[in-house]
Amino acid sequence: MPELKKIKLVLEDGTVFEGKSFGYHKSVAGEVVFNTAMTGYPESLTDPSYEGQILVSTYPLIGNYGVPKDDKENGIPKFYESDRVHISGLIISDYSFEYSHWNAKNSLREWLIQNQVPGIFDIDTRALTKILREKGSMLGKIEVEGESIEFHDPNQDNLVAKVSVKEKVTYGNGKNKVVLVDTGAKNNILRCLLKRDTTVIRVPWNYDFTQEEYDGIMLSNGPGDPQMCKETIGNIQKAMEIGKPIFGICLGNQLLGIASGAKTFKLKYGHRAHNHPVIKAGTDTCYITSQNHGFAIDSESLSSDWEPLFYNINDKTNEGIKHKTKPFFSTQFHPEASSGPTDTEFLFDQFIELIEKHR
């Protein structure tokens, strides 16, 4: 075991947790959020939705299976959700210095250092989680000795602009042309589309995609407050006029909601887990979903043309909406999973069916 430096996490409310540094040894500030998933740290860490956030893993043993190779397939990393680590810092209880997996290339520690992301272990992540649960997600900073730093609220930044592609990229050569509006898209959305006979045109968050020739629009996930994406919302409104199928995920769901006239609000401490139950409105059909969001649509604010599609059974918040007559729908959870349960991947099939129907 290497020599370990001391490092601490300071919360906005003054609470301090001292731990040991196992990543890149530097100070950072961000919003502290927790995730209760028990697997999938390489996927989570590269998920652009975590941009600006200091992630707490409630599962205590992390790093067990290392970090996978950076092989590429169809022009995107095969095992990562984006090209880099997006979290600002990682907080865990017990780090496995030695990893074991046939597909691993690096240790988590090496990977964090390469990506210049700090990591803290040996703190009571359950106690920390309970604070976040009681008081809500809050700002925090990781501080190393002799390098102080100010608190910083990433939700004030245009995080989407930070994580979106800078210019249009086209993937695949399938029958159905899908515009992927990249507000921080996870690669698995791309993979899920590409394996369904599509050509994916990935465009920057503020790109006027209505100029493109397309069969359907995929609104991706992404970080931060949806109100930051005014330009995207405007483009979605134009696309709604055009009327071709639209499928939104996570931030994409919120943007579609706002574009339709609904309101969003910030959840106390968000949903970040692999075990969130949702029920399809008006049915007895339930799914376990992967979630990662801090904002949600207020169901009450939906306009009369729209209706809820899914609810969260835990806290009854909205988990998806659909237009009553037009081929527009979206989910707050992640049907592309990665990481997390794959129960709702069929929604991509439904999206493709809509495209085929409306072509």
Partner 1 sequence: MKKDVKKVVVLGSGALKIGEAGEFDYSGSQALKALKEEGVKTVLINPNIATVQTSEKIADKIYFLPVTPDFVEEVIKKENPDGILLAFGGQTALNCGIQLFEQGILEKYNVEVLGTPIQAIIDTEDREIFANKLGEIDVKTPVSIAVTSIDDAVKAAGEIGYPIIVRAAYTLGGMGSGFCSNKEELISRAENAFSYSNQILVEESLKGWKEVEYEVVRDAYNNCITVCNMENFDPLGIHTGESIVVAPSQTLSNTEYHKLRELAIKIIRHVGIVGECNVQYALDPNSEDYRVIEVNARLSRSSALASKATGYPLAFVAAKLGLGYGLHHLTNSVTKSTPAFFEPALDYIVCKIPRWDLNKFTGVSKQIGSSMKSVGEIMAIGRTFEEAIQKGLRMVGQGMHGFVANQPLKNKNINEELAEPTDQRIFAISEALQADYTVEEIHDLTKIDKWFLEKLKNISDHKKVLESHNSLEALPNEDLRAAKKMGYSDFQLARLVLKAASEEMEEELLKVRQHRKAQGVVPIVKQIDTMAGEFPAQINYLYLTYSGSEHDIDYEKDGQSVIVLGSGAYRIGSSVEFDWCSVNALNTVNEQKYRSVMINYNPETVSTDYDICDRLYFDELTLERVMDIIDLEIPKGVIVSVGGQIPNNLAMKLHRRDVPVLGTSPVDIDRAENRQKFSSLLDDIGVDQPRWSELTSIEDIFTFVDEVGFPVLVRPSYVLSGAAMNVVSNKDELEHFLRLAANVSKQFPVVVSEFIEQAKEIEVDAVAKDGELVAYAISEHIEFAGVHSGDATIVFPPQKLYVETIRRVKKIARQIAKGLNISGPFNMQLLAKDNDIKVIECNLRASRSFPFVSKVLKVNLIDIATRVMLGLPVEKPRKNLFDLDYVGIKAPQFSFARLQKADPVLGVDMSSTGEVGCIGENYYDAVLQSMLAVGYRIPEKNILISSGPARSKLELLNSARMLKERGYNLFATSGTHKFFAENDVETTLLHWPDENKQPNAVDYIREKKIDLVINIPKNLTKNELRNGYQIRRDAIDFNIPLLTNARLASAFIYAFCKLDKKDISIKSWDEY
Please report whether residue 173 would count as binding partner 1 according to CB under 8 A.
no
Q: Taking a C-beta distance cutoff of 8 angstroms, is the pair 35, 272 a contact? A: yes
Q: Minimal distance in Å, beta carbon 341 to partner 1? A: 6
Whole-number Å distance between alpha carbons of 346 and 321: 16
Residue 336 is a catalytic residue: yes
Please report whether residue 349 would count as binding partner 1 according to CB under 8 A.
no
Residue closer to partner 1 by CB (options 46, 220) is 46
What are all long-range contacts of 255-260, with beta carbons under 8 Å and residues at least 24 apart? Answer: 255/183, 255/219, 255/226, 255/229, 256/219, 256/321, 256/328, 256/330, 257/297, 257/302, 257/306, 257/321, 257/330, 258/226, 258/227, 258/233, 259/233, 260/302, 260/303, 260/305, 260/306, 260/321, 260/323, 260/328
Amino acid at 228: M
Which of 71, 83, 94, 145 is close enough to bind partner 1 by CB under 8 A?
94
Q: Which stretch binds partner 1 (CB under 8 A): 123-131, 239-247, 301-309, 351-359?
A: 123-131
Segment 260-289, which members bind partner 1 (CB under 8 A)?
273-277, 279, 284-286, 288
Tokens encoding 35:
């995730």
Helices 230-242 and 251-259 pack at an angle, to 10 degrees, of: 70
Please report whether residue 3 would count as binding partner 1 according to CB under 8 A.
no
Of 192, 250, 271, 274, which is the active-site residue? 250
Residue closer to partner 1 by CB (options 18, 353) is 18
Site string for partner 1, 325-344 (x = CB under 8 A): ------------xxxxxxx-
Residue closer to partner 1 by CB (options 97, 265) is 97
Residue closer to partner 1 by CB (options 65, 151) is 65
Whole-number Å distance between alpha carbons of 291 and 267: 13
Total residues in contact with partner 1, by rule CB under 8 A: 54
Whole-number Å distance between alpha carbons of 36 and 126: 10
Tokens encoding 32:
């502290």
Amino acid at 224: G
Residue closer to partner 1 by CB (options 99, 151) is 99
Q: Taking the CB of residue 12, how many other CB atoms lie within 10 A of it?
A: 15
For residue 141, report the phi and psi dihedrals to the nearest 5 degrees: -145, 145
Residue closer to partner 1 by CB (options 196, 276) is 276
Residue 25 is a catalytic residue: no
Q: Which stretch binds partner 1 (CB under 8 A): 116-124, 147-155, 162-170, 346-354?
A: 116-124
Which of 71, 72, 74, 127 is close enough to bind partner 1 by CB under 8 A?
127
Please report whether residue 151 would count as binding partner 1 according to CB under 8 A.
no
Residue 271 is a catalytic residue: no
Which of 7, 10, 11, 37 is close enough to bind partner 1 by CB under 8 A?
37
Tokens encoding 293:
């969001």
Max Cα-Cα span within the chain? 62
**Residue 287: closest CA among 354, 321, 335:** 335
**Contact positions toward partner 1, by CB under 8 A?**
17, 34, 36-40, 42-43, 58-61, 64-65, 68, 93-94, 96-103, 122-127, 129-130, 133, 273-277, 279, 284-286, 288, 313-314, 337-343
Residues with catalytic roles: 250, 334, 336
